[in-house]
């Protein structure tokens, strides 16, 4: 690595904290990770990773001599030059971000005046930085630098995103902190964007809200395609070739989920509302995304006549492939709605953590796709796990009561499925139906 080896304390051993810790250790820094959950720290010390994130376990293992895990905040900062705050900031009842965990860390830093800088990586409302600065001053850390360094890592590819980022955003008022953070990231191939703290905080919210808007644009276009006979995947491919627009995040589906887009788009909307401004475009994005899984249920109901006492198999539960994360997964809305319509639910997912809360406690979970679809009246592909592209759909058809497949991620070939006898519904494309014996469509 090109920069100096530094000592970093990372507060929060969640997705962001662990990826940050692993990648900084990989860059040669010494990292102490502090979390308040004893079980999490016990697992990490034992070499287990409490979350599913490709490459993370290997990277933590490879760099274990540079990683320490602790419950003790004082131990975490004892040797540290930089303290990274990577705790979660869940929404409150009013849609604001709950910053209590951030304040708890600042409180725990009281007296750590040897630190060169405190950095917030957690997603926070714009303006939080100046409050953190005031809290640091009040805690006797007025000589300690402060920066916002938002993360842009997507779950499932977080390690890669961290080490090969599109940009590294460093928001700080002082040169020394900017230089320190630039040095800390030495060895990472990505442009550094230096700016003020408030702008850095806003970059994070604006990026996620714009990505959510892009997805929602294609989802609304898909609805128009369904009504007019166009094929949204062809449209997205050609629209995406315009280099000003790009093909990324133009996959129509059951709506975005996860811990970031729903939360951050609501947070930006709430932040705007708190200033008396209604962010109208985001209002629409949020509403359309809420509708997206409900529309799918409505379309299934129209195809089957009723959903009452129908057996429906949900294939994939996590909010996207490559993660075990169920937060704000569209599958949960689908499952609740289907149950409310009187359906019986089965489900399959390769890694989703078993959920014992509603609606999943009312669904039969199966270890294979074949078992999940047996006697089903319809199967819904909810998460585009690669395993689902390998399924022998012809064999699956014989297990089902009705050969109806709703491809909620436009991941399979509807014509090929129709050839093996399926009615294949999808998002923004015509429903493909098997040829009748007479040869008519």
Q: Which residue ranges make up the site for ligand UGA (CB under 6 A)?
A: 151-155, 208, 211, 215, 249-251, 253, 256-258, 260-261, 264, 319-320
SS3 breakdown of the chain: % helix, strand, coil, rounded to 5? 45, 15, 45
The smaller minimum CB distance to ligand UGA, of residues 26 and 332, is found at: 332
Dihedral angle sign, alpha carbons of residues 251, 254, 255, 256 = negative
Alpha helix (H) residue ranges in 69-196: 73-78, 100-108, 128-138, 158-163, 175-184
Backbone angles phi and psi of 249, in degrees to 5: 60, 30
C-alpha–C-alpha distance, residues 82 and 116, integer Å: 6
Question: Is there a contact between 16 and 121 (Cβ–Cβ < 8 Å)?
Answer: yes
The two three-digit tokens of residue 396, written as one number: 């699956």
Contacts of residue 65, Cβ cutoff 8 Å, sequence gap at least 6: none
CA–CA gap between residue 293 and residue 317 (Å, rounded): 13
Q: Tell me the β-bridge partners of 363.
A: 345
Active site residue 260: yes
On the CB side of 126, how many CA atoms lie within 13 Å of its CA?
Answer: 17
Tokens of residue 291, six digits? 């509708």
CA distance 238 to 260: 28
Choice among 23, 86, 260, 424 that is catalytic: 260
Rank residues 35 and 151 by Cβ distance to ligand UGA and give the closer one.
Answer: 151
Q: Where are the beta strands (DSSP E) in 331-440?
A: 344-348, 363-365, 378-381, 404-407, 423-426
Of 81 and 264, CB closest to ligand UGA = 264
End-to-end CA distance of the chain: 62
Shortest distance, CB of residue 308 to ligand UGA, whole angstroms?
Answer: 29
DSSP β-bridge partners for residue 31: 8, 67
Q: Among all residues, which ones are annotated catalytic? A: 260
């Amino acid at each position: 690595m090109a920069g100096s080896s530094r000592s970093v304390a990372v507060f929060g051993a969640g997705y962001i904290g662990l990826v940050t810790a692993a990648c900084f250790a990989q860059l040669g820094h010494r990292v102490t990770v502090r979390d308040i959950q004893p079980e999490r720290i016990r697992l990490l010390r034992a070499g287990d990773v409490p979350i599913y994130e490709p490459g993370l376990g290997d990277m933590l293992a490879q760099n274990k001599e540079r990683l320490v895990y602790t419950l003790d905040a004082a131990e975490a900062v004892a040797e540290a030059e930089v303290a990274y705050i990577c705790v979660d900031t869940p929404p409150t009842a009013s849609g604001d971000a709950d910053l209590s965990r951030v304040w708890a860390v600042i409180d725990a830093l009281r007296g750590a005046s040897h630190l060169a800088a405190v950095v917030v990586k957690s997603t926070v409302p714009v303006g939080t930085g100046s409050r953190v600065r005031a809290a640091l001053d009040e805690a006797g850390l007025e000589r300690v630098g402060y920066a916002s360094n938002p993360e842009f890592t997507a779950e499932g590819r977080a390690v890669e995103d961290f080490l090969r980022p599109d940009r590294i955003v460093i928001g700080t008022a002082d040169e020394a902190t900017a230089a320190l953070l630039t040095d800390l990231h030495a060895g990472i191939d990505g442009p550094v964007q230096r700016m003020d703290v408030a702008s850095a905080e806003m970059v994070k919210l604006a990026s996620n809200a714009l990505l959510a808007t892009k997805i929602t644009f294609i989802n609304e276009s898909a609805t128009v395609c369904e009504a007019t006979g166009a094929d949204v995947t062809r449209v997205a491919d050609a629209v995406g070739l315009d280099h000003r627009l790009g093909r990324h995040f133009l996959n129509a589906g059951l709506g975005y989920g996860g811990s970031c887009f729903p939360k951050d788009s609501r947070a930006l909307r709430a932040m705007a509302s708190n200033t008396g401004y209604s962010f109208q475009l985001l209002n629409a994005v949020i509403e359309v995304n809420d509708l997206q899984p409900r529309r799918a249920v409505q379309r299934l109901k129209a195809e089957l006549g009723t959903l009452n006492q129908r057996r429906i198999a949900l294939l994939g539960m996590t909010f996207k492939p490559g993660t075990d994360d169920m937060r704000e997964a569209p599958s949960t809305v689908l499952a609740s709605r289907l149950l409310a319509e009187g359906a019986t639910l089965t489900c399959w997912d390769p890694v989703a953590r078993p959920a014992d809360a509603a609606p999943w406690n009312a669904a039969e979970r199966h270890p294979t796709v074949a078992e999940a679809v047996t006697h089903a009246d319809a199967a819904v592909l909810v998460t585009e796990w690669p395993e689902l592209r390998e399924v022998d759909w012809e064999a699956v058809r014989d297990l089902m009561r009705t050969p109806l497949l709703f491809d909620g991620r436009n991941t399979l070939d509807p014509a090929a499925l129709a050839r093996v006898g399926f009615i294949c519904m999808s998002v923004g494309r015509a429903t493909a139906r098997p040829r009748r014996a007479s040869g008519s469509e």
